[in-house]
A and B are shown apart, each in its own frame.
Chain A
Amino acid sequence: MLQGFKNVGPILRAMMRNKIRVFLLAVEIAVTVAVVLNCSLLILQQLETIRRPTGIVEDELIAVVLRPYGASFTDAEFRRQTVDQDLEAIRALPGVVAVTPISNFPLIGGGSALQARPLGGDDSQLVRAPQYSATPGFLETLGLDLVAGRRLTDADLPVGQGAQSLNVMVTQELADALFPDGDALGQTIDTGSAEFPDVIVGIVSPMFTPYGGGPMETRIMFFPGRPSSAQRAQYLVRAEPGAYDDVFRDLDATFLKVQPERLVTVRTMDDIRAGGFLQNVLLAVLFSGVAILLVFVTGLGIFGVTAFAVAKRTKQIGTRRALGATKDAILSHFLIENTLITLVGLAVGLVAAFGLNVIMVSGAGAPRLGPGVALIGAASLWVLVMLATWFPARRASALAPALATRTV
């Protein structure tokens, strides 16, 4: 093929005789590269959101929703006892690592948030944070680690019903937002009622839960509690990876054995997650679909146009072969021809890609197009063009020199 580049002159002259074909291919390649590059950016952006590490062992978690309809659940003391019995029964299941009732499931794309500030701090120090209420087992259930301070124990659980001061655990991000000097541990905070300030006793490893964007998604607070209302209770169960399916199957019956008068819904954390990331997944899939189809169609188009060019030039090719051109020379003729067209298309396409990117950034919040992605995209497209050219060009090079002597 290198040798073939010496023949660029004749190839260019041949191309000038087929301006329309060259023009069509170049524009097609230009539009394709512009669109595929921008699609890739959007896909990468969505994947980044979907794939963002959450810090919790979501693959090992099972989410259970209980909806009591028995009248006895209106009694708070009865509910408290039921939570303890539930915990005992679930822990006894083989394959269960840990279990906790929890006020909201993480990763659903929302939940319940509070505003906290150092006790006595002014309004400008308010920090918004998603909050979860759970029994001390939440740390092991979610798979979070203790970074500093101490774990919560059963002794930290609230006594009785009313508002009271509690010991809480927070993520490092929340600790730093509340106490920028880094001395959050042991500090007293106001989480809504100054009469009952809470105390930060422990810091947990980083966690992320989608919550409509912003820094609060990593600023998370855990209260000790046995969240369970007359209408609803939720549990997270962590199962050993090998026993996940067995535990999943047995949960329904285990809860009903403790207390039959409630509806039990058991779901995987993946299902729960789907709600939080639905829009991201949908867009990622759609953009991928368009990009893949576009590459396919462009490849098909290049294949078709080159095949037609080969068919039309059968006689010329035969003549060249008869005059001593090697098979490789014929093959490289078409490869070089399409490379030249591709280069023109890519040049126009890259400019168009950056132009389209400006629209996408302002209209769809897409990331900016960088030279790295642009180069990788351009190179891949050239490979695609070469592949699509290869097959018809091979057929051209296989033409017999004798064809030159035939008229039709």
Chain B
Amino acid sequence: MFLYYLRLAVKSLRATPGLTAVTLLAIALGIAVPTASLSIRHVFAQDPVPEKSDRLFNVRVESWDANSDFFGPAGEPPKHIAYRDMIGLRGMDPEVPSTGVASATIFAFPEGREAQPFQAGVRLCHADFFSMFQAPFAHGGGWSRDVDLSLEQVAVLSYEGNQRLFGGGDSVGRKVRLGEQSFTVLGVLAPWQPTPQYYDIINNAFGRPRDVFLPFDFIKDQALALSRVGDNDNWGPNVPRDDPEVFFMGTEMTWIQFWVELDPADRGQYHQAVDRYALTQKELGRFPRDLNNRVSPVMEWLAIRQVNPPGVDALVLVSMLFLLVCCLNLTGLLLAKFLAQSGVLGVHRAVGASKRSIFVQRLVECQLVASVGGLLGALLAGVILRVVDWGAPDFIIRPELFRLDLFTLAMAVGLALLAGLVSGLYPAWRACRIAPALQLKLQ
């Protein structure tokens, strides 16, 4: 029966090619716009690590001085922590998996004479980084916790870094020259790009991953001379920079995103420990403001950072209203079409078609147009996303960030079927109520 309806629907659609084309265009546009904006929102608002986003916590302490203002929403502590506080928090009892996250750059010298040195992006982190954030290793592995202190010259390469330095492959055990120093490769990551890149949401939320992962304290290695990059907020006493040890342990500059892994039930307990740490600092004459420390799970932290810009939600709302207008249009078009067919419908009814079968038949026709229009809309949404992708500079948004994926496709078809149903109900109902006798008489 369904196949018969489908055949009737195709026939009816082919009978009025102009109207069918306009109808398809209306649906395709109506679907493309909300699909594209929902995809964009999805990129910004999705949970980057659903399996453990409730176990990873960003930690901040209120270390700012009493008077001056800092960037960011009122009532929030600074968005990073200072080096000395990272050391302090990592030294607390009981020990939990933790890592600092910061960025630096250094010249890397690929093997081979012709290869030009290039500015490599360095991810500074601790040993626990790789297990906490589930970094997938293609070869080898990360470094052990002792290396965080002993500073053996070892490195982990991202997939991209391995491509740039060695052209890919298993590079474990090979040496990579960074600045004037030589590092042994311990591990190479598989392509890994959480979206958003939550562990460094401040400096690299949607960019390419850094090339090289190094133990954090190499930032203090004067011979290596990494140059620190990324956002930082600074205040108060000027600390001389000549000796990195003195500088980093003395400055109030906040520049490190600090993460711990906890059982969600232990959040309160850990927060209390952070508060106790803050009290010890108050005794030292630091932390002049009231206690205002934060232990925020991933999604809370992303919300605080407004990773999903407020304009995007407005865009989704506007797109949905756009779809509504397209649905209204569609209702008008379908109504016009079905009523124009009154004569034929009257004959159908007169020779025995039930109201119900006329109704279902019309709905099948609507759903057929909607599915095809939905697919067209998905393609169009893909084009829109490509244009957005192409328009955004690569150094902030990596290519291919916005694209037509299964999520987009499923959403487009789902929206289309819903739109077809909503728009088709009234016209189909009107069509099935046509009185057979009246129509026949008019002929």
27 contacts between A and B (CB under 8 A): A25-B332, A28-B329, A31-B324, A35-B322, A42-B311, A69-B107, A69-B117, A115-B68, A123-B66, A229-B227, A274-B393, A275-B395, A282-B388, A283-B315, A287-B315, A290-B37, A290-B315, A290-B322, A297-B322, A301-B26, A301-B325, A304-B22, A304-B336, A311-B340, A312-B340, A363-B314, A365-B310
Known: A193-B238, A282-B392. A21 touches B33 (CB 8 A): no
Q: Which residues of B contact A296 (CB under 8 A)?
A: 29
Complex: how many Å from CA A293 to CA B29? 8
Q: Mark each residue of chain B from 311 to 341: 1 if its CB lies under 8 Å from any CB of chain A, else 0.
A: 1111101110110111011011101100110
Interface assignment of B309: CB less than 8 Å from any CB of chain A:
yes
A123 near B67 (CB under 8 angstroms)? yes
A278 near B396 (CB under 8 angstroms)? yes
Complex: how many Å from CA A305 to CA B427? 14
Interface assignment of A110: CB less than 8 Å from any CB of chain B:
yes
Interface assignment of B2: CB less than 8 Å from any CB of chain A:
no
B interface residue numbers (CB < 8 A to A): 22, 25-26, 29-30, 33, 37, 40, 65-69, 71, 105-107, 116-119, 180, 225, 227, 231, 235, 238, 309-315, 317-319, 321-322, 324-326, 328-329, 331-333, 335-336, 339-340, 384, 388, 391-393, 395-397, 426, 443
A interface residue numbers (CB < 8 A to B): 20-21, 24-25, 27-28, 31-32, 34-35, 38-39, 42, 67, 69, 71, 74, 110, 115, 123-124, 126, 128, 163, 192-193, 212, 229-232, 263, 271, 274-275, 278-279, 281-283, 285-287, 289-290, 293-294, 296-298, 300-301, 304-305, 308, 311-312, 356, 359-360, 363-366, 408
Q: Which residues of B contact A27 (CB under 8 A)?
A: 328
B328 near A301 (CB under 8 angstroms)? yes
Which residue on B lies nearest to A265, using beta carbons? B119
A263 near B118 (CB under 8 angstroms)? yes
Complex: how many Å from CA A41 to CA B40? 21
Complex: how many Å from CA A359 to CA B318? 11
B37 near A21 (CB under 8 angstroms)? no
Which residue on B lies nearest to A194, using beta carbons? B238
Q: Which residues of B contact A365 (CB under 8 A)?
A: 310
B391 near A364 (CB under 8 angstroms)? no
Q: Which residues of B contact A193 (CB under 8 A)?
A: 238
Known: A231-B105, A231-B227, A275-B395. A34 touches B310 (CB 8 A): no
Q: In the complex, how many angstroms separate the beta carbon of B302 from the nearest chain A beta carbon? A: 16
B326 near A297 (CB under 8 angstroms)? yes
Q: Which residues of B contact A25 (CB under 8 A)?
A: 332
A305 near B336 (CB under 8 angstroms)? yes
Most A Cβ at <10 Å: residue of B324, B329, B384: B329
Enumerate the 3 nearest inter-chain pairs by beta-carbon distance, A residue then B residue, closest first: A123-B67, A364-B314, A301-B329
Q: Which residues of B contact A364 (CB under 8 A)?
A: 310-311, 313-314
B325 near A279 (CB under 8 angstroms)? no
Complex: how many Å from CA A282 to CA B312? 10
Complex: how many Å from CA A212 to CA B391? 22
B309 near A290 (CB under 8 angstroms)? no
Complex: how many Å from CA A35 to CA B37? 15
Complex: how many Å from CA A108 to CA B13? 54
A-B Cβ contacts below 8 A, count: 153
Q: Which residues of B contact A71 (CB under 8 A)?
A: 180
B30 near A297 (CB under 8 angstroms)? yes
Q: In the complex, how many angstroms separate the beta carbon of A48 from the nearest chain B beta carbon? A: 14
Known: A20-B335, A67-B107, A305-B336. A192 touches B68 (CB 8 A): no
B388 near A286 (CB under 8 angstroms)? yes
A110 near B231 (CB under 8 angstroms)? yes
Most A Cβ at <10 Å: residue of B30, B116, B119: B119
Which residue on B lies nearest to A110, using beta carbons? B231
Additional pairs, 19, CB under 8 Å, beyond known A278-B393, A365-B310: A28-B332, A35-B325, A39-B318, A115-B235, A193-B238, A275-B393, A286-B40, A290-B318, A290-B319, A293-B29, A293-B322, A297-B26, A297-B322, A312-B339, A359-B317, A363-B310, A363-B317, A364-B313, A364-B314
Q: In the complex, how many angstroms separate the beta carbon of A359 from the nearest chain B beta carbon? A: 7
Complex: how many Å from CA A124 to CA B69? 10
A300 near B329 (CB under 8 angstroms)? yes
Complex: how many Å from CA A27 to CA B119? 58
Q: Which of A21, A192, A212, A408 contacts B332 (CB under 8 A)?
A: A21
Complex: how many Å from CA A57 to CA B151? 48
Q: Which residues of A contact B227 (CB under 8 A)?
A: 229-232
Q: Which residues of B contact A35 (CB under 8 A)?
A: 318, 321-322, 325
A300 near B26 (CB under 8 angstroms)? yes
Complex: how many Å from CA A305 to CA B22? 12
Complex: how many Å from CA A34 to CA B324? 12
Complex: how many Å from CA A24 to CA B335? 11
Q: Which residues of B contact A304 (CB under 8 A)?
A: 22, 329, 332-333, 336
Complex: how many Å from CA A17 to CA B328? 19
Known: A28-B325, A297-B29, A363-B310. A287 touches B318 (CB 8 A): yes
Complex: how many Å from CA A35 to CA B321? 7
Q: Which residues of A contact B30 (CB under 8 A)?
A: 297
Q: In the complex, how many angstroms separate the beta carbon of B205 from the nearest chain A beta carbon? A: 12
Q: Which residues of B contact A123 (CB under 8 A)?
A: 65-68
Q: Which residues of A contact B116 (CB under 8 A)?
A: 263
Known: A67-B107, A69-B107. A42 touches B314 (CB 8 A): yes
Which residue on B lies nearest to A280, using beta carbons? B311
Known: A69-B107, A123-B68, A282-B391. A24 touches B33 (CB 8 A): no
